[in-house]
Amino acid sequence: MVMPRSAQTGLLATYLLPFLRRTAAEDQETRRETFRRRRRPAQHDPDLDGALLTELALLLEKDPELRGLAEDGSPDARRQAAARLATLLVDVDPSALEMIWARIAEPVGGSPGAKRPAKPKRATWLRRQIASGAMNLLIGLVVLVTFVFAWLPAHRHWPLDVTFLALFALWCLSFLPGWLYIRFLGQRAGALWDEYVLYLHRLKLDEPQYLPRPPSTSEYFAEWVSGGGPLYTGRHSIYRQKFDAYYGQSVSSGEVDAESGVRVGSLFPLFLLTVTLAVGWAAVLWDFGFLTAPEGGWDVLKYAFLGAYFFITQTLLRRFFQSDLRPSAYAAAVLRIIVALLVVAALYQVMGGIEVHVQLVVAFVVGLFPIVGLRALQRAAAVALRDAVPSISPDYPLTQLDGMNVWYESRLLEEGIEDLQSLTTANLVEVILHTRVPVSRIVDWLDQAHLYLRLGRTENTRKERKLAKDNPDVHLRQGTKDRDLLRNQGIRTATDYLKTYPPVDGEVPAHPGQVDEATKWRVLSHVLHAEPALNPVWNWQKRGVKGIEAVAASPTA
């Protein structure tokens, strides 16, 4: 939305009224400090501040009555003062209007891209050393207790080199996940803020002037200025608050030492996972017989721990490279280990007739994916409890989306997004901030989800898939048939469908009972066209990379 010039001038005049009362003060430094506090707590150029105050003083000289109206506190006087100031800016001194507007639109810190001075790195180094020392201390305590009270009495026959090799493996495997976060403390940078702001403007989740200031070199900057964005810069913004709550204020404010918001006191989940892994590996390395001659439930639990450890390290490593490594990831890792061990312990009771090697493989898979074990327990309990056991399988799982894998699914589950319906109703700003999944991929998933939710269910359970495979014409669900029909035409998202079959007025039946197979697809066009949650998807497509026609029509083509 581009604000008309007259509306811009009126809004600017209303914004400047409080400063007009102070322009007659003899102490120019006092006026400059007042303006600085009124606007925002950031760096300022004294010369530019003084130039702005000088322009306001010149405007008062050209219209002496304006001073009295500005000093009058009545609403009528303020409205008249704003109107007279707007007239002065437009008709008498347009150059002052351009100068004032440019000064207010200037970014924090002066020139675009300016950064605050870097803070000393000694504090960062010290935090890393304290965190690393605490982790080593925790692992050392576990190793000491294990070696003195367990390994030494039970493994006196072990050669010394084997004993120390096992202890080193325990330390290394326990320290590795936490070391990733110690290295990650210095990886975040202020570029995250600019990237986040550009995403907000491209999605157009709000009117441009209410979004944070985009980089002046972006195509959204002119739209932001024209909408009156500079006048809202110093006000509270929910978008900045959400960002600062997750990454810290130092990142959005442009400080080089962006990890300064991280404190060792917030790393309790990291220390908890380190202790849990140390205890787990001490139990696994207690006896190497589980690799050659496994037996009993204790070895089954060991394989469950190994599966959980494999998934945890892979997840943490992926999140490290995606700049998405947070203390909450370590809390989720501890929870995964606990859930996997509990599920395998319960599942072991129904695996008595299965060969031990198969039990170990099952335990490892459940460690990777605890939901698999929960579904198996549900089927086992359903035999005795009949219909009393609720289903834990959603009708529209996230795995139906193209590009979804187990790593992304587990990341979305951490944010409370469990199926397609929860994805379409999630807060898009928080999903972008918290998951660090490429925004184009999130938008594409959202686009797919809106279409799939309206096409009916597919075969989700193993029984349904087997029936459909044996006799597709009879057992194939309608949702699967519809998706195959659209996919054969190259349609895989809701916007693809609307581009191919746009709605036509007058084609929607008056009553649902009048819908036949042909009308069903026309109704779908109207339903998707009226879906407001698709607006960010349309904005992302329209406000992104220019198409061939737009490039050919540009002057530089």
Q: State pLDDT tens for residues 290-328.
A: 787 777 888 899 999 999 999 999 999 998 888 788 888
Residues 75 and 159 in one domain: no
Comparing C-alpha atoms, which of 62, 81, 59, 86 is closest to residue 70? 81
From 76, 105, 134, the end of a domain falls on 105
Is the domain of 24 the same as that of 153? no
Q: Give the model's pLDDT for residue 118.
A: 47
pLDDT of the residue at 449:
95
Phi, psi of 397 (to 5 degrees): -70, 160
* C-alpha to C-alpha distances, 241 to 71, 231, 328, nearest whole angstrom: 35, 18, 19
pLDDT of residue 513 exceeding 80, the answer is: no
Both tokens of 433, joined, read: 């901030």
Q: Are residues 231 and 180 in the same domain?
A: no
| pLDDT given at position 453 | 92
Residue 128 located in a structural domain: yes
- pLDDT of amino acid 158: 65
The residue count for the chain: 557
pTM score of the predicted model: 0.72
Q: What are phi and psi of 112, to 5 degrees?
A: -60, 140
List CB contacts of 94: < 8 A, sequence separation 6 or more: none
Same domain, 154 and 207: no
Average pLDDT value for residue range 506-524 = 78
Q: Whose structure tokens read 């006092």?
A: 30
What is the residue type of 245?
Answer: A
* Position 405 pLDDT exceeds 80: yes
Who's near 161: CB < 8 A, 6+ residues apart? none
Percent share of the chain, pLDDT over 70: 70
Q: Are residues 151 and 224 in the same domain?
A: no
Which of 261, 291, 307 is at the close of a domain?
A: 261
The whole-angstrom separation of Cα 537 and Cα 209 is 20
Q: Are residues 174 and 196 in the same domain?
A: no
Beta-bridge mates of residue 255: 116
Nearest to 276 by CA among 334, 339, 316: 334
Instruction: Tell whether the model's pLDDT for residue 491 goes beyond 90.
Output: yes
Q: Is 357 helix (H, G, I), strand (E, B) or coil?
A: helix
Q: Is 397 helix (H, G, I), strand (E, B) or coil?
A: strand
Q: Which of 217, 233, 261 is the last residue of a domain?
A: 261
Question: Would you say residue 271 lies in a domain?
Answer: no
Query: Within this chain, do residues 80 and 204 fall inside the same structural domain, yes or no?
Result: no
- How far apart CA 256 and CA 120 sit, in angstroms, is 10
- Using alpha carbons only, give the angle 490, 495, 496 rounded to the nearest 5 degrees: 15
Is residue 12 a contact partner of residue 89, using CB atoms and an 8 Å limit? yes
The set of residues, in sequence order, having a beta carbon less than 8 Å from that of 211 and lying 6+ positions away, is 197, 200, 201, 205, 224, 229, 237, 239
Nearest to 330 by CA among 180, 226, 535: 180
How far is residue 514's CA from residue 516's CA, in Å, rounded to a whole number? 6
Query: Whole-number mean pLDDT of the chain?
Result: 77
Asked if 458 and 397 touch (Cβ cutoff 8 Å), the reply is no
What's the whole-number mean pLDDT along residues 238-266?
A: 64
Which pair of structure tokens corresponds to residue 408?
């992304």
On whether residue 211 sits in a domain, the answer given is yes
Neighbours of 117 (CB within 10 A): 8
- Compute the C-alpha angle 121/124/129, nearest 5°: 125
pLDDT, position 248: 66
Q: What CA–CA distance (Å, rounded) separates 308 from 301?
A: 11
Residue 412 counted as domain residue: yes
- Considering Cα of 188, then 191, then 197, then 198, what sign does the dihedral take? negative
146 and 20 in one domain? Answer: no
301 within some domain: no
Instruction: State the CB neighbour count (10 A cutoff) for residue 440.
Output: 13
> Confidence class of residue 92 from pLDDT cuts 50, 70 and 90?
low
- Identify whether 159 is part of a domain: yes
The listed range with the strongest mean pLDDT (126-140, 169-183, 251-265) is 169-183
Give the Cα separation of 292 and 301 in Å (integer). Answer: 16
Overall average pLDDT of the 248-259 stretch: 56
Q: Domain total for the chain?
A: 4
In a 13 Å sphere around the CA of 489, the CA atoms on its Cβ side amount to 12
- What is the C-alpha separation between 524 and 530, in angstroms, rounded? 10
Write down the residue that tokens 């303006």 correspond to.
35
Instruction: Tell whether 175 and 218 lie within a shared domain.
Output: no
Is the domain of 77 the same as that of 48? yes
Is pLDDT of 79 > 70?
yes
Of 203, 201, 208, 205, the closest CA to residue 1 belongs to: 208
Residues 430 and 506 grouped into a single domain: yes
Question: Is 91 found in the same domain as 34?
Answer: yes
Which helix (H) or strand (E) covers residue 221, if one does? Answer: helix 221-226
Q: Please give the radius of gyration of the chain, using alpha carbons only, rounded to the nearest integer.
A: 32
Instruction: Give, in order, the Cα–Cα distances in Å from 390 to each of 393, 394, 459, 494.
Output: 9, 11, 18, 32
Can you read off the two tokens belonging to residue 419?
């199926």
Residue 129 belongs to some domain of the structure: yes
Amino acid at 57: A
Residue 324 within a domain: no
Report the pLDDT averaged over residues 462-474: 74
Domain that holds residue 486: 398-542
Model pLDDT, residue 367: 93
Residue pair 56/23 in contact by the 8 Å Cβ criterion? yes
